[in-house]
Structure 1
Amino acid sequence: MDSMAQYMPKSTFHVIYSRFVKAEHALFEKEIKRRFASMFSTLENRIRTSNWKNPRLFKHVTIMLDGHDSRATYVEDKAAMYSFKLKKSGLTTQDAIDANGMVLFVSKSASCRDDNDGKMLLEMGIGKKIDSMACIALDGGYTQRIPDLMEKEQLEEHNFCFPIRKKRLQPLYEEESTFNTRFSGFRSISETTFGDLMKTFTKFNNKEIVRTACKKEFNLAA
């Protein structure tokens, strides 16, 4: 509200905010999901842009998915919200981003400690959110969950791109190590997108503490 005070009275903004994230939460959440999925990025755009912009090894990748932790306090035990990334309490959200940096869909926000990336991937119903031609880039924190996800959501291996896991007591071949290094650099695009968003919306820059009484309201605002 302090940030918006230069544009309108705090009381006016509070009325608008309350109507948006509280009174009409379900309506706005449904509309935002529809717009994410259809207005800002189409399947054809994603395929064309990925083929044009992505490095040679990753031209088939149309979506990058990663978890993002935000500093937040909530009406529950702080220990349950502990973020190992932030070293403080927070809420985590899975964000799917296309090659143009457009956010396509997000998961529900959850307390950081017990909701790791792999668990949230299984719970976000991703099979209903992507096309059969989509390929999602995931980091090593998700790979052990992919077999379960394919079975649950009726997806296939071509829907995922991820780093090669090192087998116990067996080093990676040079080609495998090179692939992982290039893949890590490629996925840094998602971190750049998060950085741009946090610079624009300082409320979610991990320095400001978002105080919320409802995870749904935080999720819709984020």
Structure 2
Amino acid sequence: MASPSRLDRFHRRHPWSHNDHYGPWVARQVAAAGARHILDVGCGTGNLAALLRRRAATVTGLEPDRDTARIAAERFADDPSVDIVEADFAGRDIRQRWDAVTLVAVLHHLPLAPTLRELRGCLSPGGRLVVVGCYREAGPIDLLTALPAALANPVVALVKHPARAAAPPPHMTAPTREPLETLEEIRAAAARELPGARIRRRLFWRYTLVYDAPVAPGPA
């Protein structure tokens, strides 16, 4: 099997986004919740926002990287229903509540437990949180489950991007960070902060988390 460094070099020559791979899945989870007003944290150049907009009334995208936020803002300049804000999660409108909040490869950039707590507070009653996240590999189970991803990654790369790239596309140039928490640590934090959250290990070194906020009780 190719070493990680060889896989990295191959991926740079034939780039494709592991995050965009899960975009349609995220959009389906949001649509299934009937969300109309959505917050996309770390929206990048807006690939997920474009999918979400097809079924939602409004999408607010937060993006802290200036150049990336500019690209996203220009992309949606003619769509008043999509608002791109050059800000990180702390820069959101703390008074607002959303029907759905999405984060793709963003949560590991933030303090885990406090952010999960704040995300819960961002949701309207019955709102849905959808996360596609990265985790730190630790132990034989993580290494074993990484094997299918390592084998599939170059195959998908050749299908999606058969020609060699001179440079990565804009949506793959935002700053990155290695995850600190293991999947078990993420599960434990979610159990404390988001009771009932559903977490699954996924292909391509990702996990997914779906949490539904309690529905507000009706009148007595």
Q: TM-score, normalised by structure 1?
A: 0.32
Q: TM-score, normalised by structure 2?
A: 0.32
Q: Which structure's residues are more often helix, by fraction?
A: 1
Higher relative contact order (CA 8 A, sep 6+): 2
Structure with the greater alpha carbon radius of gyration: 1
